[in-house]
Amino acid sequence: MSAPATKLGFDGRIAIVTGAGGGLGRQHALLLASRGAKVVVNDLGGGMHGDGGGGHRAADVVVDEIRAAGGVAVANYDSVENGEAIVKTALDAFGTVDIVINNAGILRDVSFAKMNTADWDLVHKVHLSGAMRVTHAAWPVMREKGYGRIIMTSSAAGIYGNFGQTNYGAAKMGLVGFAACLAEEGKSKGIHVNTIAPIAASRMTETIMPPEVLARLKPEAVSPLVAWLCHESCTETKGVFEVGAGYISKIRWERALGARFGESSGFSPEAVASRWNEITDFSQGEYPSSMHESFNAILQGGK
């Protein structure tokens, strides 16, 4: 085991954590505040299915916890669809924003055959559009100051797929693409954007996992990664990380070397079928990390 690193502090940093009234968001907020960050604790106070809302208790309790421990925090009760109001809370209270952790989320799990458009739209509004709106409101502030740390919260349901979660999985994978593009745009401005795919005990997992599994999935085992990715000394950007139960791992895209047929015309579906084993053979994979690398390999590589 490596020697302990110098304690990472967040003195002077202003953080927004959405969906921070419980679960992962609460733990992120508590950890950052304990390290010196001033935190906007955002929570709409609604149910995990996107119903209800307007309750202040969830956010207020976390703010009280932070203040009782000697930290600084303010509450915000807006929906993430009103991202400008959330960021305004940070600007009014603290004058700027350095960190945005997009954590708010809901579930409307149902098989695709039984899903209605409301199930689809509401999940996307909260997860994908909500993250966009909060981030979009903070983006000009970060660009002007030449500094920012942004976290998206994805899910294994998006990366790998899961029965009954087409709405959730599509939104969560959308966040991976959103973060990747933002990371490219933020590189020259000192803005780092990373994505976590956590597994932790929360309102959203307690209905689908047995108690003995939930007992191992403490939110406290996710927040240290988030704090590191949000720290000024962390140079990571455009990363995607699976995290939970004391496990952290970076994931990446892998592509088979594939098969080259020549120009875009002149080969048949039968030719594709005849070389399918080559097309799907990962024994000699490659790992493009940008559109340039991807296109370059396609145009020049292959067999």
Q: Please identify every residue annotated as catalytic.
A: 168
Cα–Cα dist 118/233, whole Å: 42
Cα–Cα dist 226/24, whole Å: 10
Neighbours of 183 (CB within 10 A): 20
Contacts of 20 (CB under 8 A, 6+ apart): 26, 28, 29, 39, 41, 42, 43, 59, 62, 103
Token output for 168: 């959730």
Residue 283's Cβ-count burial label (10 Å; 0-12, 13-18, 19+) is exposed
Q: In what order do the strands lie in the sheet with 148-153?
A: 72-76, 38-42, 14-17, 99-102, 148-153, 191-198, 240-244, 247-251
Of residues 142, 109, 104, 98, the one with CA closest to residue 126: 104
